[in-house]
Chains A and B, each alone.
Chain A
């Protein structure tokens, strides 16, 4: 589906309180275009709780239930059951959470809902930080990145959430990126067509959190994929298919670009370049990325 052919209808209506260049609002537009108005959103504490805008206004043209930080998947389970009891099983229930609410505080409820085969789409928009609270580390924050709680750079590598999700053997899971709206749209459409639990994670580069210019959100997402810092793939009934550039990297038809090219454009990694280049830590990031792709090749080729 080409961008020009996406539905013109918008459920992300003007007046949101998002920062300029926000990847979440870009992704939400595509989410609503793909899922349509017969959708109920469950939103835990995350940037979107602000993006919705202030009571009594809203920037969403679908019903939204806000819920506590760790409770999105469990709340969505209740919504889904209640709608089905009322003969509205055709409504798409979406839990829309950040990486903090998914990788960390909400992982228990998410795992429970997946195991219970809840018929919903759980979407994690991953900006690799607790951004709503002002840029703190999460389980998704990459090694070396500055956050307000990893002032000298994070000393641990990020979790591989995709592999944790795959261990639940749900009918459909996918990784997308806000910079590839057609791919995202197609994955959402597929998720909507499948019954049972679906998990979708969207790479969402955050200008104020990552310290880059607000006009560069899309570029940062493209770079994340081209450097192999993020992979686009789908997992349907345990069969993993890589998409786009990630497929070419997996099959070694192209080489992934150097991570250095990506991180040097982000202020959160500036301490790795100034006052002098931290060769050791940059190499650690490159090596770790190679290890991930070697594992992907062993598992998925």
Chain B
């Protein structure tokens, strides 16, 4: 075990290389660039022995990963914002083809106007592609989740691609100390990929040809079953990781000081970790408040949230918005409770366009709810107020 002090992107590059993928195909985009540069450096040093394909677009990055994965090898890529959106068609393709591609997405604002700061609308808008989605809150969690994601994606009960999301700059370009296990320990945890099927000249099969409705529907149901299977496997893999390396970031959610809480805050990504400071301060003030940091948006932690909803009123902060509706997490939290709990849920939109959301802001949001002054759904800190 060594300690590496580095940015989220370089940590993700380190993790990806230690997972020993055979093929990485990627295209640079701010703020993901240092991730692909990091992997390129490992090509130079010889630490990465796989094939690094410098493609001409993100669409081709995902297409090349699909080709490589279908030919039977472990594959990795990374992107952000517009790159993720350009991949959209191939995100569906990878999931429907049941290919365990692992990808980091650095959450960045979508243009216009051009803006490289963070919000989560890029990945939220990809939620129905069939990918498993993690949202990380520290560089250590990025490292650990990348390795764990390969194990999850390649499990024959899952066989779905995994997207590891983390916030632009707040994590991608901020250095933190990260414990890095020895390569041998990683190899013991993550065995060599053995595909269930592949393009094989000795067993020639045609993949992805025309399929009639009844068979297609079965594939969709199997993907749904696999996401359900992932709900069980994510905690199992996290526990195995904890046993081996002593670190644990939660399962589908990470609970923080939820015992005895009558209000529980739900948030994802960096706001999720920032909220811990807020919870500590509010607890000192005597508020009975806890935090549930949502780690996986797909599969969605319905059962966990229902359990919390039966215990406490919920406060949801979304760094995204489904225009014409509301924050995506807010919607899904309410759907998890529907008909089973009549707890109050308050939604806040905050930090769009990369606007800073500090622990002070989060405390203000929580106090407003506890004091009964919050609307069902509102924007926090909107300059000029809601009109």
What is the CA–CA distance of A76 and B90 in the complex, to the nearest angstrom? 14
Q: Is B253's CB within 8 Å of the partner chain A? A: no
Q: Is B42's CB within 8 Å of the partner chain A? A: no
Kindly identify which residue among A37, A66, A70, A84 contacts B201, using a CB–CB cutoff of 8 Å. Answer: A37
Chain A residues within 8 Å of B45, by CB: none
What is the CA–CA distance of A248 and B69 in the complex, to the nearest angstrom? 47
Q: List 30 A-B contacts (CB under 8 A).
A: A40-B71, A54-B212, A55-B211, A56-B215, A62-B201, A63-B201, A64-B204, A64-B205, A64-B209, A65-B67, A65-B70, A66-B208, A67-B93, A71-B60, A71-B63, A74-B60, A74-B67, A75-B64, A75-B66, A75-B67, A77-B53, A77-B64, A78-B23, A78-B75, A79-B71, A81-B22, A81-B64, A81-B68, A108-B57, A116-B54
Q: How close is A235's CB to chain B, nearest CB, in angstroms?
A: 22
Which partner residue on chain A sits nearest B203 by CB separation?
Answer: A63
Kindly identify which residue among A62, A68, A84 contacts B63, using a CB–CB cutoff of 8 Å. Answer: A68
Are the CB atoms of A63 and B199 closer together than 8 Å? yes
What is the CA–CA distance of A10 and B122 in the complex, to the nearest angstrom? 47
Q: Is A291's CB within 8 Å of the partner chain B? A: no
Chain A residues within 8 Å of B201, by CB: 37-40, 62-63, 88, 91
What is the CA–CA distance of A38 and B51 in the complex, to the nearest angstrom? 22
Are the CB atoms of B71 and A71 closer together than 8 Å? no
Are the CB atoms of B63 and A82 closer together than 8 Å? no
Q: Is A53's CB within 8 Å of the partner chain B? A: yes
Are the CB atoms of B210 and A54 closer together than 8 Å? yes
Chain B residues within 8 Å of A84, by CB: 51
- Chain B residues with a Cβ under 8 A of chain A: 22-23, 25, 50-51, 53-57, 59-61, 63-73, 75, 89-90, 93, 199-201, 203-212, 215
What is the CA–CA distance of A270 and B199 in the complex, to the nearest angstrom? 45
Kindly identify which residue among B57, B73, B199, B212 contacts A65, using a CB–CB cutoff of 8 Å. Answer: B199
What is the CA–CA distance of A88 and B73 in the complex, to the nearest angstrom? 12
What is the CA–CA distance of A73 and B64 in the complex, to the nearest angstrom? 8
Which partner residue on chain A sits nearest B199 by CB separation?
Answer: A63
Known A-B contacts A52-B209, A58-B205; A109 and B60 likewise in contact (beta carbons under 8 Å)? yes
Are the CB atoms of A112 and B209 closer together than 8 Å? no
Which residue, of B66, B71, B207, has the highest number of chain A Cβ atoms within 10 A? Answer: B71
Chain A residues within 8 Å of B90, by CB: 68, 71
Are the CB atoms of B207 and A66 closer together than 8 Å? yes
- Extra contacts besides A74-B61, A77-B53 (19): CB < 8 Å: A40-B199, A49-B209, A50-B210, A55-B206, A55-B209, A66-B209, A71-B93, A75-B66, A77-B60, A79-B67, A81-B51, A82-B51, A82-B75, A83-B71, A86-B22, A86-B72, A108-B57, A109-B63, A112-B57
Are the CB atoms of B53 and A81 closer together than 8 Å? yes
What is the CA–CA distance of A220 and B203 in the complex, to the nearest angstrom? 37
What is the CA–CA distance of A76 and B50 in the complex, to the nearest angstrom? 17
Are the CB atoms of B70 and A55 closer together than 8 Å? no
Chain A residue total in the interface (Cβ 8 A):
46
The B interface, classified by DSSP as helix, strand, loop or mixed, is mixed
Chain A residues within 8 Å of B75, by CB: 78, 82
What is the CA–CA distance of A252 and B50 in the complex, to the nearest angstrom? 52
Could you give, for residues 32-58 of chain A, a 1 whenever the CB lies within 8 Å of some chain B CB and a 0 otherwise?
Answer: 000001111010000001101111101
Chain B residues within 8 Å of A54, by CB: 209-212
Chain B residues within 8 Å of A172, by CB: none
Q: How close is A102's CB to chain B, nearest CB, in angstroms?
A: 15
Are the CB atoms of A85 and B51 closer together than 8 Å? yes
What is the CA–CA distance of A39 and B71 in the complex, to the nearest angstrom? 12
Which residue, of A52, A55, A61, A74, has the highest number of chain B Cβ atoms within 10 A? Answer: A74
What is the CA–CA distance of A75 and B25 in the complex, to the nearest angstrom? 11
Which partner residue on chain A sits nearest B54 by CB separation?
Answer: A116
Q: How close is A123's CB to chain B, nearest CB, in angstroms?
A: 16
Q: How close is A187's CB to chain B, nearest CB, in angstroms?
A: 22
Q: How close is B137's CB to chain A, nearest CB, in angstroms?
A: 32
Chain B residues within 8 Å of A50, by CB: 210
Are the CB atoms of A78 and B69 closer together than 8 Å? yes
Chain B residues within 8 Å of A60, by CB: 204, 206
Are the CB atoms of B211 and A78 closer together than 8 Å? no
Chain B residues within 8 Å of A88, by CB: 201
Interface residues of A in 152-183 (CB under 8 A from B): none
What is the CA–CA distance of A23 and B201 in the complex, to the nearest angstrom? 25
